[in-house]
Amino acid sequence: MNTSAAPTTTSEADLIARLPAGFRWGVATSAYQIEGAVDVDGRTPSIWDTFCRVPGAVHNGDNGDVACEHYTRMPSDVALIKDLGLDTYRFSVSWTRVQPHGTGGVNPAGIAFYDRLVDELLAQGIDPWVTLYHWDLPQELEDAGGWPVRDTAYRFADYSMLVFDALSDRVDTWTTLNEPWCSAMLGYAYGAHAPGKQDYPAAVAAVHHLLLGHGLATERMREAAPRKLDIGITLNAATAYPASDLEPDLEAARRADGMGARLYLDPLVHGRYPADVIADLAQQGISLPVEDGDLATISAPIDVLGINYYFSQKFTGFAEDGSTVDAAGLPISRTLPLDRPRTAMDWEIVPEGFTDLLVRISQDYPGLPMVITENGAAFDDVPDDSGFVADEGRTAYFTSHLAAVATAIEQGADIRGYLAWSLLDNFEWAYGYEKRFGIVRVDYETQARIPKQSALYLKELAEQHRAR
């Protein structure tokens, strides 16, 4: 078995070697993608349990019923993180495992799993990082209207406190939401993710209520915190490059940046939605359902901003025929290739977009520490006879993106750590089990875990960093 790490260029290696002292090295997962045990110990269906049963919604009809059996294999998975020399583990909590109906009291058997997980991590010297919501809304709350309905924000805050009350004596870092853009847009506008709706005004309402839920939970956790804790949110963001300096291209990039990044960052940090995005939505007859006091709640101070990055894009405001408006009179926006290599997700590999994004956030939203809470790539892994995967493409991806992070730090960005996505091959949402992001291969027939070349590479980097 070849366990050597892929070679790096001198400049990339030097950049990574200069990452600051105290920099976190870790991995991330989410509950529905790895836990399995969907009907065990009182857990009830989430929107993803339901969505997976919709014909054609998920590749191959796959679902998370078994996934990686993390619910029963958790101690050995924690030991694996320890063996890889990583110091931080970001995991999400299954809402319906802790609060089966989306309302009411805590489910003792459900919260007990996360209680054991936190204890196991601490016993191994690994810092637990809790994400309260990673897309698995209780189906009962979706039946009542889901995130487009204001009440869901309050239900989320109540659920958050059930988890916080149980674990805040030992967990120092808390993330409210993972990627609210995906929850709102993929779930309610484009129908690609659970609950599979296609209602753009409802998706915009969901954006606001997700952010409101974040703010309500943040305020309550801050008030109840037993000591100084780090509370934040994780956003997926990218750099939107204009195809040219022509006005339609500049405007297309502005609109993409507005809906993808500033619609979330501006209210979280500045307590207001960006005026240009409000105007863009008004052009479509859509408004955000803001009530008095909402923006003050949403902008409750946070201690850390999680950034998930996978790719950047180039935008044009011209249709192929040269027109700049569509049949409804709305501006054209479409993507063009950057002519970069692509991952198995067909995402272009753009590490300099990562640097540009991180530096831009540090300049436009100063004083906000960042941690890379997800970054990684799916490739078509080919195991050898022993099951080992020499994933040179993924290893090179980590190299280029860690160097991009280091470059951003040297340009003034305050970035405290890097959590690779993901620890394990797992249920990749609408792609089912076809796409593999793990640094550890999972044989889904036997549930055997085998660290890939990329895992050994990250272990080597973490050990070298600590040794300095």
Annotated catalytic residues are 179, 374
Q: Are 28 and 130 in contact (CB under 8 A)?
A: no
Q: Are 128 and 122 in contact (CB under 8 A)?
A: yes
Q: What's the CA gap between 231 and 218, in Å, rounded?
A: 7
Q: What's the CA gap between 40 and 301, in Å, rounded?
A: 37
* Entry field: residues in the chain: 468
- The H or E element spanning position 18 is none
Q: What's the CA gap between 62 and 52, in Å, rounded?
A: 7
DSSP E strands: which ranges in 422-462? 440-443, 448-451
Question: What is the maximum span of the chain, computed from C-alpha positions, in angstroms?
Answer: 62
At residue 450, what are phi and psi to the nearest 5 degrees? Answer: -135, 110
Q: Which residues lie closer than 8 Å to 94 by C-beta, 6 or more apart?
A: 31, 32, 35, 43, 46, 110, 136
Q: Are 381 and 428 in contact (CB under 8 A)?
A: no
Q: If you compute the radius of gyration of the chain from its CA atoms, what whole number of angstroms results?
A: 21
**Cα 178 to Cα 28, 30, 230, 374, 399, distances in angstroms:** 11, 9, 16, 10, 24
Q: What's the CA gap between 31 and 49, in Å, rounded?
A: 12
First and final C-alpha spacing in the chain: 29
Q: Which residues lie closer than 8 Å to 245 by C-beta, 6 or more apart?
A: none
Strands 24-28 and 173-178 turn out to be: unpaired
Q: Are 352 and 396 in contact (CB under 8 A)?
A: no
Residue corresponding to tokens 């063009």: 336
Q: What's the CA gap between 251 and 263, in Å, rounded?
A: 16
